[in-house]
Structure 1
Amino acid sequence: MLRFAPSPIEDFNIGNLRVAIFNYIVSKQLNEDLVIRIEDIDVENIIEGKDKEIIELLNLFSIEYRNIVYQSDSLKYHQKIALQLMSQKKAFACFCSDDKLDELKQEAQVEGKIFSYDGFCETLSDETVLNTNAPFRIRIRKPDENIKFTDVLKGNLDYSPLEVDSFPILNQDKKPTYNYACAVDDMIMDISMVIRNENHISNTAKQIHVRNSLGYTKEVKYVHLLTILNAQTNKNISKEDNINSVKWLIDEGFLPSAIANYLVLLGNKTPKEIFSLEEAISWFKLEDISKEPAKFDINELKLINKKHLETIDDMRLSKILGFADNDIGKLAKLYLKDVSTIKELKEIIAAIFTEKTSSEDIKKEFGLVKKSLQKAPFFDNLAELEKYIEQETNLKNNDLSKVLKYILIGTHNGPNISDIYPLIKNYLGEIVK
């Protein structure tokens, strides 16, 4: 089983989405279930409704999963297993105050060392622990040997006992810490592979140590995806960058299929540039992902998005734009030479259906042509309509075409009116207001 474990303490970003997509693809390849695990133990920092937003976005990208679980629902297991570790002398009660721990961290920072718990409470007798009324947290004893594991992208990794440390597994409020809860949940869920971002790589050693301490021997494969850089700045994409937000990309008019396509393509060897997630399942290989940070370029995404819009079903595109007419889908595609997002297409279509006001260069002609259009009968082809307007206004050739185009689409630019008219002729009553 694989799991995607987002936390509802921040916006769903492109790094999260890439992890979700890769977990989905690999789960399909391995014919294993994918579970969504909402990591909600950091109660103080949870953003209300963020979990539902994450699920909605995953559904929007058609990422299939078996079910959704919340980490907080396993609290009793976290506590029970912590007590088991204590009874086996593999964990201990720590009465050190936050102030004392902060002091130790500052000392380590001044000395340029990795912070490591000094073991003050590790040797306390059971009697001392029982007779101490102060609040305490539970720490797991640091490993006796190095923790070694192999990452699919990064190769063999090795962490010393000092780096793993005697880290807390239960806080003073008896709620689990991240690494402990993650390790226990992966055991409970029988996870076989963990695909996540590289900022978790040091956590992996701690989580393996928890499982080792519990005698869990199942091998878990790890894949830590490298950071995504902003191609414009060549720096890590930050929370402040708009392109980091999946919701922002959707609101800006990028298709989920195009975003997914681009994230799989990013820093990867693929047999083709344009594809669906279903197609990627047949050839995707984790080993082909670049071992260098990928660069997210919004302009490249626009090109990918345009190509998806060019091939999308006309009726589907029409519905996305708020209609249910193949002709509106075809009309929108006429503009893809100059634009590349749904948002831009919506603005163009809205402009066509918006009442136009005359521009200075066609002020006199505008009124004449508009009036004739409003009383004109239905004409199936443009030539017949132009002939009718010519008789009504005495305008001819370019003078007529220029005004007619502006009244119909709100601009002198854009596709030829001869290509547009067949697609909007049934809407003239709404367009010419």
Structure 2
Amino acid sequence: MLRFAPSPTGDMHIGNLRVALFNYIVSKQRNEELIVRIEDTDKERNIDGKDKEILDLLSLFGIEYSQVIYQSENVRFHTAMALQLIHNKKAFSCFCSSDWLDKKRDEAKEEKKAYRYDDACRNLPDELVIDNMNPFTIRIKKPDETIVIKDYIKGDVSFEPKDVDSFIIMRQDKTPTYNFACAVDDMLSDISLVIRGEDHMSNTPKQALIRNSLAYEKEIEYAHLPIILNDSGKKMSKRDDASSVKWLLEEGYLPDAIANYLILIGNKPPKEIFNISEAIDWFDLEKISKSPARFDIDMLKHINREHLKNLDAKELSRYMGFADNEIGELARVYLEEAGTTKELRSKIEPIFADKIIPDEFADSAKIMIETIKNSPYFEEYGDFKNYIMKESGLKGKDFFKPLRFILTGAGHGPDVAEIYKYIKNYIGEIVK
């Protein structure tokens, strides 16, 4: 069993989508189920509707899953496991106040040391614990031995006991912390492999310690994906527009192209342009680069253009608000200078909109518009052009410039003869 475990606290990040894609691909390769676990225990940060938005995006990208689990529904299991740890002397009640712990953190900072909880409450006598009426958290006892995890990208990774302190698993309000809920849920779902971003690496030994302390015998494997960098070489954040999957879609990038690019970066596929189904045949976690991947919006646009080219004409036309082959072929002409559906619409829409003619061509355009309105239908551009030129008496730039503005709504662009092939049946709508 594999899992994709997003939090409903904001727009889906491209790093999260990449994790979802990799989990889906590997689940298909292994013939194992993929579940979606909505990690919604942080009630204060949850945003209404984000869970549905996440699921809708997964469907849009063709990521199939067997079930959806809400982490908040497992709280009774988290509580039961915490009680089991206390019963087995693997966890203890901690009465240290927030002020006291902040003081210890400040002292560690002044001494330029990594803060570690000093186990002040670890060995309190039972009678002191029972009689203590102060609020308390529950901490798991730190490990005595080195924790080793298998990572398909990083190799075997070791964590020494000194690097994992007795951390909190249940807060004072008796809600589970992230690592505790995550570890218990992975056990409940019989997860075999966890694919996630390398920013979770520090959580891995903590979750392994929880499972070990609960005597869970199954070894969970890992693959921690390197981070994605922005143009400045820094980790992509919410401040980077391109980090949002929603933003990319609104800008006119196709789901297939976004998926293609996210699978491509940090990888060595047999070809540059592919779909998810093809990636299932050759994808190999162990061949993912260990280095961070840099996000290149120009490369994404190139890939998006290639996917647009591969669409059949009628499907391409739907992105322009039409449903016929001619407009699809017209859009294909503009793919030489446009790389997204948004850019394509900015080329096609002016053709059918009211035209803004520069003042220097206004008189010529007026004459030409009337001529075109009264002209017969012409199959070939050459015949159309010759007729309009003869009937209007216009020549040179007084002919060709106004004609381009009238037919395309722009002063520059592809050859008008090429455009005419696909708009000749729409002349009555275009020239008003």
* TM-score (normalised: structure 2): 0.96
Report the AA paired with residue 243 of structure 1. Answer: A
Q: Percent of counterpart pairs with the same letter?
A: 54
Equivalent positions of 1:270-281 (< 5 A) are 270-281=269-280
RMSD: 1.6
Deviations 1:340-365 (A, max 9, x none): 11110011111111111321332221
The total of aligned residue pairs comes to 432
Partner of 2:77 in structure 1? 77
Partner of 1:104 in structure 2? 104
Report the AA paired with residue 71 of structure 1. Answer: Q
More displaced 10-residue stretch of structure 1: 179-188 or 292-301: 292-301
Partner of 2:348 in structure 1? 349
SS of residue paired to 1:270: coil
Q: CA contact under 8 A between 1:114 and 1:163: conserved in structure 2? A: no
Partner of 2:165 in structure 1? 165
Does residue 431 of structure 1 match 2:430? yes
CA distance in 1, matches of 2:156, 2:389: 79
Structure 1: tracts of 5 or more residues without a match: none
Partner of 2:179 in structure 1? 179
Equivalent positions of 1:213-232 (< 5 A) are 213-230=213-230, 232=231
More displaced 10-residue stretch of structure 1: 208-217 or 398-407: 398-407
Report the AA paired with residue 119 of structure 2. Answer: G
CA distance in 1, matches of 2:312, 2:100: 64
Equivalent positions of 1:203-352 (< 5 A) are 203-230=203-230, 232-352=231-351
Deviations 1:268-298 (A, max 9, x none): 1110001001100000001111111111111
CA distance in 2, matches of 1:316, 1:96: 63
SS of residue paired to 1:149: strand
Report the alpha carbon displacement of residue 190 of structure 1 after superposing the two structures with TM.
0.4
Partner of 1:32 in structure 2? 32
Partner of 2:405 in structure 1? 406
CA distance in 1, matches of 2:146, 2:132: 33
Report the alpha carbon displacement of residue 170 of structure 1 after superposing the two structures with TM.
0.8
SS of residue paired to 1:282: helix
More displaced 10-residue stretch of structure 1: 34-43 or 7-16: 7-16
CA distance in 1, matches of 2:172, 2:32: 37
Deviations 1:187-212 (A, max 9, x none): 00000000000011111000001000
Report the AA paired with residue 26 of structure 2. Answer: V
Report the alpha carbon displacement of residue 150 of structure 1 after superposing the two structures with TM.
2.1
SS of residue paired to 1:46: coil
CA distance in 2, matches of 1:322, 1:135: 61
Structure 2: tracts of 5 or more residues without a match: none
Partner of 1:420 in structure 2? 419
Partner of 2:380 in structure 1? 381
CA distance in 1, matches of 2:429, 2:82: 69
Partner of 1:17 in structure 2? 17
Partner of 2:47 in structure 1? 47
Report the alpha carbon displacement of residue 377 of structure 1 after superposing the two structures with TM.
3.9
CA distance in 2, matches of 1:262, 1:347: 24
More displaced 10-residue stretch of structure 1: 57-66 or 264-273: 57-66
CA distance in 1, matches of 2:129, 2:35: 40
* TM-score (normalised: structure 1): 0.96
Report the alpha carbon displacement of residue 405 of structure 1 after superposing the two structures with TM.
2.3
More displaced 10-residue stretch of structure 1: 157-166 or 384-393: 384-393
More displaced 10-residue stretch of structure 1: 210-219 or 99-108: 99-108
CA distance in 2, matches of 1:73, 1:265: 36
Report the alpha carbon displacement of residue 218 of structure 1 after superposing the two structures with TM.
0.7
CA distance in 2, matches of 1:326, 1:125: 80
CA distance in 2, matches of 1:218, 1:138: 25
Deviations 1:130-180 (A, max 9, x none): 222222111111112121112111122221223221111111111100000
